[in-house]
Amino acid sequence: MFNEGDNMKKELLSKIKKARYCFAWVNIYVEDGAYLQVTKDTLRFIVKNASEEALKIMLKGDYSENPSFKLRDDGDLYIN
């Protein structure tokens, strides 16, 4: 049986698989940051080991932000 957490993992892993390139936002300046390219293997590890609460934020966002994982039309996956 699949629970909600398993379904969210499956959806996130599908986005990672479909992505051409993956980029994650990293704060590297005092008040700003940049997108750095990350590997799909790293993202898979994070998703597979994430709590259900973290998975919800990745997919749906929280009260103040949009979803963390965004698969764009150009095939690139951006993580905020």
pTM of the model: 0.85
**Cα four-point dihedral sign 51, 32, 62, 75:** negative
Contacts of residue 65, defined as CB under 8 A and 6 or more positions apart, other chains included, come to: 57, 80
Average pLDDT over residues 43-62: 91
pLDDT at position 57, please? 87
pLDDT at position 1, please? 47
pLDDT at position 25, please? 92
- Residue 41 pLDDT exceeds 80: yes
pLDDT at position 64, please? 66
Distance CA 77, CA 71 (A): 4
Count of alpha carbons within 13 angstroms of residue 29, beta-carbon side: 6
Asked which of 7-21, 27-41, 60-74 is least confident by mean pLDDT, the reply is 60-74
The residue that leads in pLDDT, 21 or 66, is 21
